[in-house]
Structure 1
């Protein structure tokens, strides 16, 4: 069945802050200049915000520029930061670092504790009011090219295919969305963004990208323990000093807190489980005291880019751009990416509008990276560029050297440290490490994976092609299990991957419970043989995050 096609000036893939900012800025410019630009935005979640997960503390600087009247227009930024605490944890104790000794990147004066999902829902309303056509529940599954090799749009995924790939009784082919320019704003390790980076060799001059996995729960806590706007970050326990990771606890409004943990995916020990490390983090006395008497109401996980400026790929190619975390625009030192996403989306939109006004079609938007290099965002990322390289050398040495970099050298060190090895290649054989004995969940403060996935409201139609593809199924056993003790069982935060054996304990096989997948992309990043390829399932499926 032939796919139908729709024509637009601009097609945006992804309804996060980068994609929505792109669409909003394009329509603003069209209104200001009395012109008409058609903008289509597709989002793989069932609604805008359904797949959005972030800490989150937002720096409103980019939002101030994009929508100066956001406060009067009801943007859900209702919890200004009231206090910063940075704790260094031991197993039973905690030392608070004096704020005067913290680099500026760890200060949050003027920022807000938010639900990024709710902010995106509000941004979606602003975009629709400006005339952006938004289509949630449609996943961009294929990049389309014109006869000259330029990107001419995307195709959405087919609906109703059966597990073997055949057309089921409710089959509907995807649609082609053609644009003079296409914006790719899928977030970290975007399915199409990854393909474009490889197709156009966009990262040939960049360091390998580095990543983290962020796990998060939303809790309602005892009002007597709640302090709206309190922001707590931690380093140290439960991570070993040579492994990058840290926790956060943010007090939203309405007696809710967002609690989470980030683990750098460059870790070496295949026995490590980011999910279990997060659960252990919650048992620390300084953290547990906030949770006791409270109730967990939501759970989710998402990978994030952390390589910084030196890992940014080229962001332009004929017919399109990468914006936000699809390119890697996140300030790992600040644990913030929303303002980066909004700013890059707006900068790309301005370059695109200029090109459309000149009747150029699918030229490379070189004005976008040029504008980025002149922006405050470039200056911010340049100051923080050595954070992750220093922290990869261990908590204590990394903290000391980054402190010198920021407090004494003001981020202007005459050197830039490099990333040399991708995260998946850092995993070492399981035989070199002792297994980690994680405590069993108590069902009160700590929980198992499956009860957590239930709270993410994740749903996938089971009788469809598996969206977690193995390039060579045998490798899962002959390499991953034999050498690394099947680390996918532990780095996946949703219980997707299981090693099953016959009753006699022999004949191991990998079972993929794709219906559990929360779309975090960790498997696509950390698999040591790069044998797992994450592709989009049917549109509208996956988690449905409330207030995350």
Structure 2
């Protein structure tokens, strides 16, 4: 018997992101008497939320049709949409007529996704949803028949050696008729469920990009509210990806860079590619003289339609980026995540009203595959794998052809496949190290000063949440074959090889720096690194990201 206390709800939702909060609101809209609880591992709602973000309000219009009258943070409509192809010194704007119409940003808004989630949380609480920030879901609970019973939060006050500290508090069990997993990209419980139930057996592997973002205060004379710029091309060579720069409210710009994690060269550093990108004359001209105020990083689902796993299992469902509904060419996933949460909520409310508990919400999967989510993702399903297959230039041309064909009503009969991001990395003897320029402290910066701006904090004396399946692999495999790529793909300086000067190399894990981006869990060549949830409330604390 567990000595943990328990609470019982109709629905427990793991994660207070757009999907989880939309599900909670929809449940209460359908039946105000339903008991709904949302767990959030961040210190507050929005603390771990990071996105560009340009929001398509399509799902929000369905969820809260009067949102414009509810003091929402969506106040800056996109007024100017630009797409640049960069060379080392120049830009070449792509004309709008060359882009499929659904790629434009008409009717969208640029906003802090964290602030949108904070606002959604307020709407949910007004309806009676209970939200518990600072409590990380650490364990799945099971009924005797193998269905999901709920989740347990992690213990608080456990020392690094596993001993209980004086302030130790055992975790809480939250039981539910249905549990929704809305953890975001590469959620650790969602990953466990996908593996345990074989949910990805009939889908392509999920693939990812690493998005690194900064928020800058810039010269008001350079600020154009609602201007949205996307770039591709330079500086990437052996990888695919691109940059973004969004003029948001209060003379701020959100800018960032996404590097596809399928790259082969072990010497690529997504963080350093971002710093190089900012030095492009056209980007530098916008931010020069400004002040960097925040930094963060997060992995992004890029697998699209063919990587959607089976969404349901007895007692629960995957929603939002735990399943992966990002429209990569549009660089948008908030509206699809929200809609998935709404559809899951409708299926669960119907099941509970019919007296069913902990069965499989088949209706949710059916509704999602009949929805505009899948229609939208089918249209762009070949765009991302085309870039990986053909390279940036040919892949872009093919993707445009494919999407234009869909636009005029021609559905091409093939669907490209994905390859796992951790596979196929080149050995270090096949390539030369990349000589990245040193930061200037004005436009480009080092990782540790960047992590400082993310407000990342973990209780130092707690179990390390970045674990190794085999402690010998980092030196015997990763260092020997690939020159320890974890030192470069991590955007927070978590992984260091120390002791090489005395011929005693070992991997040092600076877990306190971790911004919860999940890149290590995705990109490690042997999948030896396992990300598990730290003590609740730890990690970044993004104020306006």
Alpha-carbon distance in structure 2 between the residues aligned to 1:420 and 1:281: 27
CA distance in 2, matches of 1:381, 1:215: 24
Q: More deviation in 405-414 or 90-99?
A: 405-414
From 400, 403, 417, the equivalent of 2:400 is 403
Aligned to 1:447: 445
Q: Does the CA-based 8 Å contact 1:185-1:325 persist in structure 2?
A: yes
CA distance in 1, matches of 2:149, 2:292: 45
Q: Is residue 458 of structure 1 aligned with residue 456 of structure 2?
A: yes
Which residue pairs with 1:343 in the alignment? Answer: 339
Whether the aligned pair in 1 keeps the contact of 2:302 and 2:384 (CA below 8 Å) is yes
Asked whether the 8 Å contact 2:212–2:256 carries over to 1, the reply is yes
1:309 aligns with 2:299: no
- List aligned pairs for 1:147-296, cutoff 5 A: 147-240=144-237, 242-296=238-292
Shift of 1:342: 0.5
Give how far 1:419 is off: 2.5
How many residues end up aligned between the 2 structures?
542
**Structure-2 residue corresponding to 1:370:** 366
Query: 4+ runs of 1 displaced by more than 6 Å?
Result: none
Instruction: Tell me what 1:41 maps to.
Output: 38
* TM-score under structure 2 length normalisation: 0.98
Distance of 1:278 and 1:538 partners within structure 2? 30
Q: Following the alignment from structure 2 to structure 1, what is the Cα–Cα distance between the partners of residues 320 and 539?
A: 21
Q: Is the 8 A contact 2:325 2:373 kept in 1?
A: no
Q: Within 2, Cα distance between the matches of 1:409 and 1:16?
A: 31
Relative distance call for 1:474 and 1:412 in structure 2 (3 A) is: farther
Maintained 8 Å contact 2:206/2:418: no
Answer whether contact 1:466 1:514 (CA < 8 A) is retained.
yes
Find the aligned partners of 1:91 and 1:417 in 2 and give their Cα distance: 34
Deviation per residue, 1:425-453 (Å, 9 max, x gap): 13221111111000000000000000000
More deviation, 414-423/459-468 = 414-423
Aligned counterpart for 2:381 among listed residues 373, 385, 406: 385
Are 2:351 and 1:355 equivalent residues in the alignment? Answer: yes
- Greater CA drift, 398-407 or 439-448: 398-407
Residue of 427, 430, 436 corresponding to 1:429? 427
**Residues 69-80 of structure 1 aligned to structure 2 (within 5 Å):** 69-80=66-77
2:497 aligns to what SS in structure 1? strand
**After the TM superposition, which residues 502-521 of structure 1 pair with which residues of structure 2 at under 5 Å, given as runs?**
503-504=501-502, 506-521=503-518
* 1:142 aligned counterpart, secondary structure: strand
Residues 207, 418 of structure 1: 8 Å contact kept: no
Task: Look up the SS of the partner of 2:107 in the other structure.
Answer: coil
Q: 2:244 and 2:414 mapped to 1: Cα distance?
A: 28
Change (3 A) 1:437 1:320: same
Q: Secondary structure at the match of 1:275?
A: helix
Alpha-carbon distance between aligned partners in 1 of 2:414 and 2:277, rounded to the nearest angstrom:
33
Gaps of 5+ in 2: none
Q: Deviations over 1:379-408 (max 9, x none)?
A: 111101111111112111111111111123
Q: Are positions 1:478 and 2:479 aligned together?
A: no
The residue matched to 1:424 in structure 2 has which SS?
Answer: coil
